[in-house]
Amino acid sequence: MAQTTTEKLGEWKIVTVVESIVPMGLGRSRMIENTTEVNTEQFRTSRTDGQKSDQKSVSRSELKVENFDEAKLLNFFSAAGINFQNIASNDAMIGARIMELEAAGFKLIYVTSAVESHAGKDDSGGIFITRMFFKK
């Protein structure tokens, strides 16, 4: 199972929900779960004087995982504006996944969320992101 720590610490799972606020179905909304174990040691560097870093030696392409699960969700907005049916549908999908994980022995430990939107004069989009942390 991905993101497994030692038995003493338990098993952790992070589920990320990205909900688009781009109108008319043009955005992409998903519920994402990593399924790849990652060793972070190879991607970490140390600073010894607070200035110099070897981060340039870490390739961004090497950071990308190839395997993950994704579930399609609906966008918050439709052509007519806020689409409450889409929001309720997303809630049903997210709630169902939480119940599946609870049934598998995971407990929801922490939730954090944020929104990104330019919000300028011609702003037509952004995302609402939620990360849920589960432990077994």
Residue 121 to residue 22: CA distance in whole angstroms: 15
Q: Give the per-residue pLDDT at 119.
A: 67
User: Which of 27-41, 50-64, 78-92 is least confident?
Assistant: 50-64
Long-range contacts of 61-67 (CB under 8 A, 24+ apart): 65/34, 65/35, 65/36, 65/38, 66/36, 67/34, 67/35, 67/36
pLDDT, one tens digit per residue, over 9-50 is: 789 999 999 998 877 767 789 999 999 888 878 777 777 777
Whole-structure pTM value: 0.80
